[in-house]
Structure 1
Amino acid sequence: MISTRTRSGTTWTQMICGLLIFQTPDLPAPLGRLSPWLDHLTMPRDEVYALLAAQRHRRFIKTHTPLDGIPIDPRVTYIVTARHPLDLAVSLYHHTTNIDIARMSELTGNQLPTNPTALRKTLRDWLVSWIGHDTDPRRNLDSLPGVLFHLGDAWARRGESNVLLIHYDDLSRDLEGQMRRLAGHLGIAVPEPSWPRLVQAATFERMRGEADRFVPGDGIIKSTTSFFRRGRPGAAEEVLTDEEIAGYHARVTSMAPPDLLAWLHAPGGCEPDDFSKAG
C-alpha cells in the first residue's frame, strides 16, 4: 500500500515499485492499471476490486487515505511518501488549476466548484491562507493540519517492520540509494546489472518526458506534462517573506513532534528509523 498526501510523490513511488516488481523499464501495462487508486471516486468500487483480483503480480496499490483509515495486515507493506509541506502546497496550488473540474464532476456524480480557490488568489496569498487555515484534519486532508495528521500517524508507526517512510527530497537527492533501500525493505532482489536501467526509468525527467504513460487517466488532468511540473524543493521560499516562513514554522511546532518536523524540513541526514533508534 502506497499511502501519501496529494502532490507528495505518489506516482513516483508507484513507478519505483513497478520497476522493482517487474524489473524492466517497459512496464506491461499503464501504471494506473498495474497500481490502481483504491479510493478514487472516478472508478466504481466493484471494477477496482475486480481489477485487483485478476492481478497475478505482486500488487502495489495507491491510496491517499492515512494509515489509520486502512486495515493493517502484517502481510502488507505500507509505504508512506512525505514531502516538505510548503513544497507540497505549492505543487497543490498549481495542480488545482490543471484539473478539469467539469470532467471530475461528471465522473464522480458530485457537483464541484468550477472556480477553484487557487484560481482566485496569487500563489503567495494562497500559501499564506493555507498555512493559517484552521480546519479538521480528518475532513480536509490536504490542509496543513491534514498533511501533518497523515504524516504524524505514519511517523508514530515507523518502528513497525511493515511500515516504511520515504522523503520526496531523498528521492530527488539519491534516487538509486532510495530505490535500493525500498527493494531491501520489500525483499526484492535486483540483479546488479539491472540497476542503471531501472534508476534511469524512475528519474523525474524520464517520467515527465513520458507523462501520458503515468498520469491518472479519465481525462481529469488537462496537461499531463504539467502534472510533473517542477520536482525541486524551495518554491515557497521564492514567494514568501521571512516573516511568513517563520509563521509557518511557529504553527507546525504545535502540530507535529519535533523529530518528524526535523526530518520533513531537512531530510538526508538520517532515515526515519534512525530517529527511532535515537529515541
Structure 2
Amino acid sequence: MATLRRYRTVVSDSALWVDFPFRAGDVVLSPPAKCGTTWMQMLCALLIFDTAEFDRPLTEISPWLDAVTYDTAATLATLESQRHRRFIKTHTPLDGLPFHQDVTYVCVGRDPRDAMLSFENAAANIHPDAMSSLDPQVAQLPAPDPLDRFWVWADADLVNDTTSFGVTLANLVNHVRTFWDRRDEPQVALFHYADLKADLPGQLRRLAQVLSIEVSEQRINELATAATFDHMRGRADELAPGVDAKLWRSNENFFRSGTSGQWRRLLDSAALDRYQRRVVELAPPDLVEWLHRP
C-alpha cells in the first residue's frame, strides 16, 4: 500500500483512518470544507435507505471518522454496529486515505471563492462555548476587512497543522486535485456543487449509478425533493453537523443560503485578476476551469 500523507487540523487527524476496518461497499465522502459534505451525506442516505425519514440525526448515521473533537472509540463502535451500507464523512484528501478496490470515494468540488465565504458564515455561527475550547491561536479574531481576510485565505500556503482549520485556497485545490488526478478510476467519483444546484435529480441519479443502486426515475424525483436546500434547512436540527455537540449558535443558520457568486460583491476586476494569477499557481488549467464552472 502506498504511503499515506498525514493531514492534521485543529479538528481532524487523518491518522485515525490508518487501521480502520473497511467493509466491502463502504462509501467515503470526502469534500473539502463547505463544498457540500452534508448535502452529499443526505443524498447517500436517501438512496441507501430509500426514505427521507431517519431514526437518528444524520451526523450519527454518517459520522466524521477522523474528527478529533469526537470520541473516536465511540465513533468506531457506532460504525461497527451499523448493518446498513456505511457512508462515512471526512475532509481528508484522497492521498491521505487508505485506498481499497471495494470502497467508493466521493468528492465534491466548488468554486473556491464561494467555499471561502461559506466558511466565514459558518465560523460566525459557531457557538462561543465551542470556540472557547479551541487553541487560542485558532480562536483569535480575523482581520476586520473582508477583502483582507480573502487575501489571507488566497495567498496562504497549504496548511497542515493543529493550529488551524486548514481552510485556505491551497488546501481546497490540493484536496480536489487528489481526486481529479484519479477521477477516471472506477472507485473515485467527483461531483461539482454547481451541478447539484443546477440539476439535483440528475446528480442524484448519477450518484445512484456510482453506488450501483437501482432506483426508478419517479423515485429519484421524489427523493431529490427532500434534498433541496429549503427542505434541508427546515430539518436543520436533524441534518446539520455537530447538533449533538451544540456546535452552532443556530442549526438553521448552518444552511444559511446555499447560493453561489456572492464573491462578486467583494472582488473587482483587479482583484479577480490577482486571484486568477494565484489559482493558476496551484492547479493545472483543466482543473482551474472545472472548479470555476458557472
Structure with higher helix content = 1
Q: Deviations over 1:108-163 (max 9, x none)?
A: 7x55644441xx42323311332223x23434631111111111111101011000
Q: Distance in 1 between matches of 2:178 and 2:73?
A: 29
Q: Is the 8 Å Cα contact of residues 105 and 112 (structure 1) preserved in structure 2?
A: no
Which of 109, 121, 136 pairs up with 2:158?
A: 136
Q: Is the 8 Å Cα contact of residues 101 and 113 (structure 1) preserved in structure 2?
A: no
Q: Does 1:12 align with 2:34?
A: no
Q: Distance in 1 between matches of 2:67 and 2:81?
A: 19
Q: Is the 8 Å Cα contact of residues 132 and 139 (structure 2) preserved in structure 1?
A: no
- State the 1:100 CA deviation: 2.2
- State the 1:251 CA deviation: 0.8
Q: Distance in 2 between matches of 1:68 and 1:255?
A: 17
Taking structure 1 as the reference length, the TM-score comes to: 0.89
**Number of the residue aligned with 1:256:** 283
After superposition, residues 216-227 of structure 1 pair within 5 angstroms as: 216=241, 217=243, 218-227=245-254
% of aligned pairs identical?
40
**Number of the residue aligned with 1:237:** 264
Q: Deviations over 1:169-227 (max 9, x none)?
A: 11000101000001011100113332222010010111011111111220111111111
Cα 1:213–1:116 shift into 2, 3 Å:
farther
Q: Distance in 2 between matches of 1:123 and 1:175?
A: 31
Q: Distance in 2 between matches of 1:102 and 1:116?
A: 15
Q: Distance in 1 between matches of 2:53 and 2:233?
A: 16
Q: Distance in 2 between matches of 1:41 and 1:187?
A: 32
What is the identity, as a one-letter code, of the residue corresponding to 1:158? R
Q: Is the 8 Å Cα contact of residues 153 and 167 (structure 2) preserved in structure 1?
A: no
Cα 1:112–1:220 shift into 2, 3 Å:
farther
Q: Is the 8 Å Cα contact of residues 78 and 162 (structure 1) preserved in structure 2?
A: yes
Q: Does 1:148 align with 2:170?
A: no
Q: Distance in 2 between matches of 1:115 and 1:254?
A: 29
- State the 1:4 CA deviation: 1.3
Q: Distance in 2 between matches of 1:33 and 1:104?
A: 22
Cα 1:111–1:128 shift into 2, 3 Å:
closer
Q: Does 1:77 align with 2:100?
A: no
**Number of the residue aligned with 1:184:** 209
Stretches of structure 2 lacking an aligned partner (at least 5 in a row): 1-27
Stretches of structure 1 lacking an aligned partner (at least 5 in a row): 268-279
Q: Is the 8 Å Cα contact of residues 157 and 163 (structure 1) preserved in structure 2?
A: yes
Taking only aligned residues, the RMSD between alpha carbons, in angstroms, comes to 1.7
Taking structure 2 as the reference length, the TM-score comes to: 0.84
Q: Does 1:170 align with 2:192?
A: no
What is the identity, as a one-letter code, of the residue corresponding to 1:156? D
Q: Does 1:28 align with 2:55?
A: yes
**Number of the residue aligned with 1:38:** 65
Q: Distance in 1 between matches of 2:137 and 2:66?
A: 18
Q: Distance in 1 between matches of 2:44 and 2:73?
A: 24
Q: Distance in 1 between matches of 2:123 and 2:145?
A: 13
Indicate the larger mover: 88-97 or 13-22. Answer: 88-97
SS of residue matched to 2:160: coil
Indicate the larger mover: 177-186 or 36-45. Answer: 36-45
Indicate the larger mover: 124-133 or 73-82. Answer: 124-133
Q: Is the 8 Å Cα contact of residues 131 and 139 (structure 2) preserved in structure 1?
A: no
**Number of the residue aligned with 2:93:** 66
SS of residue matched to 1:61: strand
Cα 1:31–1:58 shift into 2, 3 Å:
same
Which of 135, 142, 148 pairs up with 1:125?
A: 148
- State the 1:104 CA deviation: 4.8
